Structure 1
Amino acid sequence: MEIGDAIVRDRHGVSPLAEIHASGRRASEPFDRLEHTHPAIFMTQFAMAKLLQHKGIRPDMLLGVSLGEFAAMSVAGMVPFETALAAVARQPRLFLESCAPGALIAVLGPPSLRESEPRLGHLAELAGINAERHHVLAMPGGNVAEVEAILTRLDAPFQRLPVPFAFHSSWIEPARAAVIADAAAERLESPFWPVWSACLGAPVKPGVPDLAWRIVREPMRLGASVAAIEAQGGAHYIDLSATGSLAAIIRQDLGEASPSRISALLSPFGGNLRRLAKLLETA
Structure 2
Amino acid sequence: MNIAVRGAEAAPRTGVRFEGAPFLKPEPRADEASARHGPAVLPQARDVGGIAFTFRGLRKAFGPKTVLHGLDLHVPAGQFVAVIGKSGCGKSTLLRLLTGLDVPTGGTLEIASTERRADITRVMFQEPRLLPWARVAANVAVGLSHVRDGKEKRGKAHALLAQVGLADRAGEWPAVLSGGQRQRVALARALASRPRILALDEPLGALDALTRIEMQLLLERIWLKQGFTAVLVTHDVAEAVALADRVVLIEEGRIALDVEVQLERPRRRGSPELAHLEGIILEKLLGAPT
The TM-score normalised by the length of structure 2 is 0.29
Tell me: higher relative CO, structure 1 or 2? Use CA pairs within 8 A at least 6 residues apart. 2
Higher Rg of the two aligned structures: 2
Which structure's residues are more often strand, by fraction?
Answer: 2
The TM-score normalised by the length of structure 1 is 0.29
Which structure's residues are more often helix, by fraction?
Answer: 1
